[in-house]
Amino acid sequence: MGCPKSWIFRGAILAGLAVVLGAFAAHGMDGFCVDKYGEGEPKIVAGMEFPLSYKRLEDFKTGARYQMYHALAIIMVGLLAKTSPSRTLTVAGWCFLLGIILFSGSLYALTITGNTKLGMVTPFGGLFMIAGWVAFAKAAIQKSGISGDACPVDKAN
């Protein structure tokens, strides 16, 4: 499952889903959060106090935003794999995918269910996302032939 087209397909589907979820957050989730959490216990965010319903809505939006970023990264994995396939790129793709599932998925589930224990999963998703970027950077340097002074961009200056 590491072929370029499958990564591009996965990324495109996840990016489209991120738009749907973001639109849902912008146009329907606010009412859901108020109904589910009411004013709730105020939460401190960036030194300011907000109702719990606002915090949960922002959590959901963060999940959608990070899903979009990493869906685009999965597409980049597929595009780079077309010309320079590597095991490191495959690792990056899987890390991005697992990161979306754990990070964004846990934020969606936390908002919808109110189960705060799901928040314990979120950091693991973030770690997978970070690992994906590290693997992606490694693959880009390994396969692109970029090393030191050999970078064509530097020669143009």
Give the model confidence (pLDDT) of 95-120 as tens digits. 999 999 999 999 999 999 999 998 89
* pLDDT for 143: 57
Please report whether residue 58 resides in a domain.
yes
| Residue type at position 138 | K
Please report whether residue 150 resides in a domain.
no
pLDDT at 153 exceeding the cut of 70: no
* pLDDT for 156: 43
Count structural domains, the chain: 1
Q: Region 138-143: what's the mean pLDDT? A: 78
Please report whether residue 121 resides in a domain.
yes
Please report whether residue 74 resides in a domain.
yes
pLDDT at 38 exceeding the cut of 70: yes
Please report whether residue 71 resides in a domain.
yes
**DSSP SS3 for 128:** helix
Please report whether residue 147 resides in a domain.
no
Q: Region 51-61: what's the mean pLDDT? A: 88
Please report whether residue 157 resides in a domain.
no
- Largest pairwise CA distance in the chain: 60
Strand 48-50 with 43-45, pairing: antiparallel
Candidate from 91-95, 128-132, 150-154 with smallest mean pLDDT: 150-154
Angstrom distance (rounded) from CA 110 to CA 65? 16
Name the residue with higher pLDDT: 119 or 1.
119
For the stretch 119-137, pLDDT in tens is 899 999 999 999 999 999 8
Burial of 129 (0-12, 13-18, 19+ CB in 10 A): buried
Angstrom distance (rounded) from CA 15 to CA 19? 6
Q: Region 66-74: what's the mean pLDDT? A: 96
First to last CA, the chain: 40
Cα→Cα distances 86→2, 10, 92, Å: 9, 18, 10
- The boundaries of the domain holding residue 121 are 4-142
DSSP secondary structure code for residue 101 in this structure: I
Please report whether residue 151 resides in a domain.
no
* pLDDT for 146: 40
